[in-house]
Copies of this chain bind each other. A is one copy, B any other.
């Protein structure tokens, strides 16, 4: 996706691990495309840290809702590893959305794809038990436990870190 944007509009930057890119309560004015590294979106539920999504190389990382509605973000976005990202300014992106039908088309397609991803994840949370969700995650992304602290994966799967540790040591 990043390849579609004019290089003049993109700023390449490096971030240390655990750098907050989008802060809960603030309105983000940038969009991040991951070139190298990984990023996590999480929700603060009264101190309880809930991982909503992991982003990897090639993924765009944003709080879509606040980006679209211009409202304060309800989620936080932070780097997990040292990251190299392409940064696109919100104003530039908005211009493109208005003027470039291809970008607009692509953007809506991306949103609709995300809709299906969410709906599948919802279904999995409704029908599958944690153990099966763990196995499926491992099948989709075998290296994830080598890249991401386990307790972040736990909340992503909807279980406690203790429970995930138990699940992993099941035969």
Contacts and interface: CB of A to CB of B under 8 A. Distances in A.
A64 B45 CA distance: 31
Interface string A35-66: 00000000101001010100000000000110
A145 interface: no
A158 B128 CA distance: 9
Interface stretch (A12-20, A24-32, A86-94, A110-118): A110-118
Number of copies of this kind of chain in the complex = 2
Contact of A114 (B48, B115, B123, B125): B115
Q: Name A's interface SS.
A: helix
Contacts of A45: 127
Interface residues of A, number: 25
A108 interface: yes
A158 B125 contact: yes
A155 interface: yes
